[in-house]
Amino acid sequence: MTTEVNSTDNNSQKKVAFHTLGCRLNFSETGTISQGFVERGYEVVEFGDSADVTFINTCTVTDGADSTCRNLIRKAHRASPDGKIVVAGCYAQMDAPRIAKMTGVDLVLGTSEKYKVFDYLSEDETDTIHIDKSKDFFGAATSKEEGHTRAFLKIQDGCNYVCSFCIIPFARGRSKAVSIAQAIEEAKSVIAQGFKEIVLTGVNIGEYETTSGEKLLDLLKELNALEGLERIRLGSVEPNTITDELLDYMASSPKFLDHFHVPMQSGNDEILTKMKRKYLVEDYRRIINKIIERFPNAGIGADVICGFPGETDEQFQDTFNLLKELPITHFHVFPYSKRKNTVAARMEDHIQHPVKKSRVKTLMMLGDAKLNMFSEDFIGETSNVLFEKKDKNGLWEGYTSNFIRVKVSHDGDLKNQIHQVQLKEFKDNKVFAELL
């Protein structure tokens, strides 16, 4: 199959637009695919601008994500009625026929087939849908064309866990992983592009060793030794896979940042058991405390599901109380969403939408209050910040090591630079800082 899809002549240069929904894993995959378009002579434009190809990388964790994707398809068709629309990823894998019927959609590519987009665009395709599952691992990493400052590096995909609420194993298949050697080569490539920070991503990166046969700790050691790489973060890590050995090594090097994302989902043992999670409340509490012992200033994010089937007011209160008690600083709260073919979808006592909405709002308010308190605690402290972009008011934005977003007034170009700052003021739920 040919992969040359257009000329690089500036007068006829084709344009491609991207929109990515969902997790950091999706962003890393879009990065690799966008790089492929650039190498074939395309110019990357903003989503919503006129484009020859619009590529939508989808998520299907919730029905809200599905709805958002459909709205994006309509927007893309309005912006480029004569352009091609490619819908790819998890939602495409799970509901391809519905997507293919939408006006303007030219290709529907599943979680593996999306990497073959250039082959399909190069041919006179009569079939719209391509969702064959593959057991192969397709590596991915953020590219500079997307404008990101932190590089998301995919080291694992798929999942062998079968949590009762989760559709991802159906969409992405069983766990797959890149070798350490391949991951390091990919890391060297993103460092060469100028990235100073790498975030390791996957569906379940804590299962890296089980899947690859190589230790995640050994991968971290090799990453830590790379010149030019100044900051390393882990993406979401299941609590039952976080070991003392891993935490001890991370605490031994300043490259590893004090920011973690540890999914919780519920603060009630009965609900966790119904969810088929691999830990109970006391296990989760112990892991969070181990992190804080080694990283006392850590920012810690957690995923939480509200309104799982049968969740009582008392069980929800258990979740609220645990989140209030533990040093969780960044809340990611979702209403339970019934997903086809999952165990939870067949359960009884599904919670009414208004109840779920109310519980989500309650936890979001708690999360906002805790993040504000966490941010205020660091006023007067110094921290290194990797600056990313200017906000609408012309202030430079970036993140501290423990993931506090700060704003700095500066006339120069701070993008992709790391500077020490002093956090000076907390105002209107924002942290303002000065360069030192």
Q: Which of 1-15, 75-89, 104-118, 422-436 has the lowest mean pLDDT?
A: 1-15
pLDDT higher at 121 or 282: 282
Q: Is the dihedral of CA 282, 287, 288, 294 positive or negative?
A: positive
Q: Which tens digits make up the pLDDT trace of 37-70?
A: 998 999 999 999 999 999 999 998 888 888 999 9
Give the model's confidence band at 367: pLDDT under 50 very low, under 70 low, under 90 confident, else very high.
very high
Helix, strand or coil for residue 363?
helix
What is the pLDDT, as a whole number, of residue 5?
A: 41
Mean pLDDT, residues 342-350:
95
Neighbours of 109 (CB within 10 A): 26
Query: Which uninterrupted H or E stretch holds 332?
Result: strand 330-335
Task: Give the mean model confidence (pLDDT) for residues 333-341.
Answer: 93
Is residue 85 scored above 80 in pLDDT? yes
- Of 251, 264, 259, 202, the closest CA to residue 224 belongs to 251
- Tell whether the model's pLDDT for residue 294 goes beyond 90: yes
pLDDT, tens digit, for every residue of 126-179? 678 888 765 665 555 555 555 568 889 999 988 999 899 999 888 888 899 999
Alpha-carbon distances, residue 270 vs 261, 273, 274, 331, 334 (angstroms): 23, 5, 6, 22, 19
Domain 10-130: assigned CATH number: 3.40.50.2300
Concatenate the DSSP letters of all residues of 272-288 into one string: HHHTT-S--HHHHHHHH
Q: Is 312 helix (H, G, I), strand (E, B) or coil?
A: coil
Largest CA distance in the chain: 65
**Do residues 127 and 205 make contact, with C-beta atoms less than 8 angstroms apart?**
no
CA distance 122 to 111: 19
Distance of alpha carbon 267 from alpha carbon 303, whole angstroms: 11
- Write down the pLDDT at residue 13: 86
User: Which residue, among 426, 425, 422, 416, has the nearest Cα to 434 in the 3D structure?
Assistant: 422
Average pLDDT, the chain: 91
Tokens read off for 123: 């041919």
Q: Is 80 exceeded by the pLDDT of residue 334?
A: yes
Chain centroid offset of residue 233 CA: 12
Helix then strand then coil, % of the chain, to nearest 5: 40, 25, 40
* Residue range 247-276: mean pLDDT, rounded: 98
| In the chain, ranges of CATH 2.40.50.140 domains | 382-435
- Rounded average pLDDT over 264-281: 98
Instruction: Please state which of the ranges 133-142, 180-189, 255-264, 346-355 shows the lowest mean pLDDT.
Output: 133-142
Q: CB 4: neighbour CB atoms within 10 A?
A: 10
Q: Are strands 382-390 and 396-399 parallel, antiparallel or unpaired?
A: antiparallel
Q: For residues 83-107, give the mean pLDDT.
A: 92
Give the distance, in angstroms, between the CA of residue 139 and the centroid of all CA atoms in the same chain.
Answer: 15
CATH class in words for 140-377: alpha beta
Res. 91: pLDDT tops 70: yes
Q: Which two tokens stand for residue 279?
A: 């830990």
Q: Are 245 and 217 in contact (CB under 8 A)?
A: yes
Q: Where along the chain do the CATH 3.80.30.20 domains lie?
A: 140-377
User: What DSSP line would sit under 181-247, residue for residue?
Assistant: HHHHHHHHHHHHTT--EEEEE-S-GGGHHHHHSS-HHHHHHHHHT-TT--EEEE-B--GGG--HHHH
- As assigned by CATH, the class of the 382-435 domain is mainly beta
Dihedral of CA 69/266/319/205: which sign? Answer: negative
What DSSP element (H or E) covers 405? strand 405-408
Residue with tokens 């049968």: 310
Q: What are φ and ψ of residue 228, in 5° steps? A: 90, -15
pLDDT in tens, 3-44: 334 433 444 789 999 999 988 788 888 888 988 999 899 999
Single pTM value for the model: 0.86
* Percentage of residues of the chain with pLDDT beyond 70: 93
What is the C-alpha end-to-end distance of the chain, expressed in Å? 55
For 76-131, give the DSSP string: HHHH-TTSEEEEEEHHHHHSHHHHHTSTTEEEEE-TTGGGGHHHHHHS-----EE-
Domain with CATH 3.40.50.2300 in the chain: 10-130
Residue 4, pLDDT score: 39
